[in-house]
Amino acid sequence: MACSTLKHVSSDPASILQLCSTLYDRNAREMQIKINNHLKKQTGSSTVFLVPLLKETEEAVVQVIGEKVLQQEMRFPLSDSYLNTTVQCRCSVEGIPSELDIELLKNLRATIEPEPRTFLNVPVCHPEENYAVLVVCLIDYDEKGMTESACANLVTELFRYCLGTMLNTFAYEEEKRKRLQCQSMLAVAKNIFSHLGDLTDLLREIMGEARKLTNAERCSLFLLDSEHDHLVANIFDGETSKETLKEMRIAKNQGIAGHVANTGEVLNIRNAYSHPLFYKGIDEITGFKTRNILCFPIRKDTDVIGVAQLCNKKNGLYFDVLDEEVAMVFSAYCGISIMHSLVYRKIQEAQARNQLINELMMYHMKVGDEDVELLLACPNSHNTSNFSNFTFSPRSLPWEEMACYTFLMFTDLELDVLFNIRRETLARFILFVEKGYRDTPYHNWRHAFCTVHFAFLLIKNLDLIKQGFITPLESLALMVSCVCHDLDHRGTTNSFQTQSGTVLANLYSSEGSIMERHHFAQAVCMLNTEGCNILDGIPREQYTKCLDLIRDLILATDLASHFRVFEEQQKLLVEFQKHKEDQRRLLLCLFMTACDLSDQTKHWSVARQTADLIYKEFFTQGDMEKTMGSSPVESMDRDKAYIPSLQIQFLDNIVIPLYGLISELFPEAECLVKAAKLNREGWTTADALFSTQWDRGGHELLSNPELDEQVMAKLKQHSGMPSCK
C-alpha cells in the first residue's frame, strides 16, 4: 500500500491511545519493544521489528527484533538490501526470508522458531517530506485473518500518531551518542598525546585505541615513506609486545592500504576475499582469517601521511558507517599526534647531535694552517720498500708519518687529479680526520691508517679501476670510507651503547648500527668543516652518489651487516657483471670488511699484536659492564675469555671465508687467505701455551715472548709467510 494519508481509521483508536500513553521512554529500544508487541498482537505476526532508515548515510538499522534487544545493532547499506524495493516504491512488499540481509536472517533464525516463512515490509513516511523514514517488518503475519492491505493500514495509522515521538527519540539518542563519542575521543586524545616521546609506543597506543573504538580484532598502521614511495608497517597483532614488532614494506600503489594512500578515501570492505585488492597470501601464512576490513587514511592537513587498517569486526558483524565516522575523527588525532611525535624526535636528535658536536669539539683541537703546510712541504720521500705489497704491515710505520703516507696514497691513485681535489684541502681533511680519532687501544688513527692502506692495496694490486670492477668515484668513496670508518670510536660496542642508554644510543638505536652511523655522521661533519671538503670539486649528482656510498660502506663495517649480505656476495662468483651498480656495491662492501679486518692477513706478530690491542678494549668494556651490574659476554670478560679459541672461531667464521671469497674472485689475492690460515695455525699452537699457563691470566700471555717463540718455531716448518706477486 502506498505511503499516503488515510482518511479512515481501520484500527482500534483506544489501543493506539493506550500505546501512545506508554511511549514516554527516552530509550528507542524500549519504545520499539512496545510497538513491536502492539503490532504483533494486531496483525497476528510471529514477530515484528522496526528498521529505521538513515537518509544521510543511506543505511538501514536494526536494534530490536520482537522483544529481543540486539547486543550489537545491525547496519547495512539500503542499496544492497531487499528493503530498498519497499523504500523506492513506497508501498508494502511481501517476500521470503532468504531475500533479507544475511546477518539479519541469522538473528531472525536465532529468535524465531520454527524458521520464518514470509515477511511483509511496510514503509512509514515522514509526515511532511515525501520519503520513508522507517520500515516495519511483519514476520509470518496472519494471512488468513488479515490481508496485506489491512496490515499496511494498521502500521500506517499507528505511526501517524507515534512517529513524531519515535523520530525525536532517535534524534535524542543520536545527539547522546555524539556527545559520548566526543568524550571518548577526548579521553583517547589525552592518552595518545601522553606517548609522543616514543613513536613506537605511540603507534602501539593508537592501534590499541582504534581496536577498542571500532571493536576490531586486529589493526595495522602504515606510515608513508615518501622518499621511497613505500608504506612502512609495524604490524600489531592483538596485544603484541614491543619486542615482537616486525617491519613490513609495501609499494604505495599496492593492495588495499596502497589504494587508500593514493585516493585518500575510506575503504570499507565487508567481504575481504571477494575484493580484488585483497591479498589472501598473508592469511594463508599466518592462519588468520580476514572477513572484513576498514581502511582509512591518516592526514597531515591535506596530505596523506599514513594508513590504518582494521580487520574483522567482532561478534561476526562488519564495519558500518558509524565505524567509518569514528575512524575519520580518530584519524585526525592520529595525524596530529604522529606529526608531533616526529617533530619531537627530530628535536631530540638535534639536541643529541649538538651535545655530541660540543663533546667532539671540546675533545679535539682544530687543524692549524702551519700543520697543513708542514704536511705539504714534508721533505721525507716516504719511499718504503714493499709498501704496495699485501704482506706489508702499516703498523711498522712511525705514528707521525701516517698522515703523509695517507696523503701519498690518495695522490698515487690520482684521486686528487680525477676529482679536482686541492692539495691543501686533502691535507687539511686528513689531519682533521686524524684528530677525529680518540686514543683507544685499537680503534684509533693507526687502525684507520691500516684500513685505508689495505683499500689502496686492493685498488692498486687488483687493478680494480682499469679492469672496470669499480669506477673512479667508487674508489674515492672506498678510500674516504676507510679513513673515516671509525671516527670518534669510544672503544665500546653497539650493544654496550644500547645497554648503557648513551647519547649515541638515543640518537641512532632506532636505525641500528649505532657506532657506524655515528662514524658516518662524523665523516660528514669533517667534510662540512671549512677547508676540508674534498668532494666539493665534483658535480652535485656525483657528490650525492659518493656520500650515499660512503654511508653504505661505513655501515658495512658492522659485522651484523656483513652476515646479512655475505650470501649475496658469494653469488658474485657466478653472476658478477661489472656494469650492474648493485653488484659493484656488494663487491665494495666486501672490500670494506676486508680492509677493516686486514690485520688478520699480516705476519703472525702483527696478528698477535692486534689481538692484544683488541682484547684491551674488550676487557675494559667488560669491566665497565661488571661495574654497571651486567654480565659481559665471554669475549669481553677477562676472567672467562680463552683468547686462542675465540681467535680461531673468529678466523673460521668470518676471516677465512671473507678472504677466501676475495681470492676466488681475484686469484692475485690468494696470499691473503693463506696468511689468514697460517695465523689460524699460529693460534692453534698458542693454545698449548695458554692451556698450561691459564692460571696466570689470558690477556697477559699475549705479551709473553715465549708465545711468539713457540708459534714462530712451528710456523717455520712452512715455507714462510705467503707472498703476492
> Is 443 among the catalytic positions?
yes
- CA contacts within 13 A on the Cβ side of 59: 15
Tell me which of 443, 453, 489, 562 is the catalytic residue.
Answer: 443
**Rounded CA gap, 372 and 709, in Å?**
43
CA 353 to chain centre: 23
Q: What is the DSSP string of 275-299?
A: STT--THHHHHH------EEEEEEE
CB 653 within 8 A of CB 562: no
User: Where do we find the cell 507515534?
Assistant: 162
443 is in an annotated binding site: yes
CB 566 within 8 A of CB 657: yes
Local structure of residue 129 (DSSP, 8 states): S
Q: What is the DSSP string of 512-546?
A: S-HHHHHHHHHHHHHHHSTT--TTTTS-HHHHHHH
228 is in an annotated binding site: no
How far the first Cα of the chain sits from its last, in Å, is: 104
Helix (H) or strand (E) holding 251: strand 247-251
CA dihedral 362, 368, 372, 374 (to 10 degrees): -110
Which residues make Cβ contacts (< 8 Å) with residue 334, sequence separation at least 6?
192, 206, 298, 306, 308
* Strand boundaries in 14-131, DSSP class E: 47-54, 59-65, 68-77, 93-95, 119-125
> What are the angstrom distances between the C-alpha of 32 and each of 15, 152, 175, 325?
16, 18, 19, 25
User: Where do we find the cell 524500549?
Assistant: 30
Let me know if 92 is exposed, middle or buried by CB neighbors in 10 A (0-12, 13-18, 19+). Answer: buried
The three three-digit cell numbers of residue 113, written as one number:
522458531
User: Which amino acid is residue 198, in one-letter code?
Assistant: D
Closest CA to 225 of 340, 282, 311, 307: 307
**Rounded CA gap, 495 and 509, in Å?**
10
The three three-digit cell numbers of residue 512, written as one number:
641500528
**Rounded CA gap, 58 and 55, in Å?**
5
The three three-digit cell numbers of residue 93, written as one number:
512488499
169-178: Cβ within 8 A, 24+ apart: 169/25, 169/26, 169/27, 169/28, 169/31, 170/28, 170/52, 172/26, 173/27, 173/28
453 is in an annotated binding site: no
At residue 232, what are phi and psi to the nearest 5 degrees?
-105, 125
Closest CA to 293 of 271, 277, 314, 315: 271
CB 216 within 8 A of CB 295: no
Closest CA to 683 of 634, 615, 632: 615
114 dihedral zone (left: phi>0; alpha: psi -120 to 50; beta): beta
The three three-digit cell numbers of residue 132, written as one number:
520513508
> What are the angstrom distances between the C-alpha of 557 and each of 481, 482, 549?
10, 9, 13
User: Where do we find the cell 683468547?
Assistant: 643
Which residues make Cβ contacts (< 8 Å) with residue 201, sequence separation at least 6?
195, 242
445 is in an annotated binding site: yes
What residues are labeled active site?
A: 443
Which parts are annotated binding residues for AMP? Answer: 443-447, 486, 596, 647
Which parts are annotated binding residues for Zn(2+)? Answer: 447, 485-486, 596
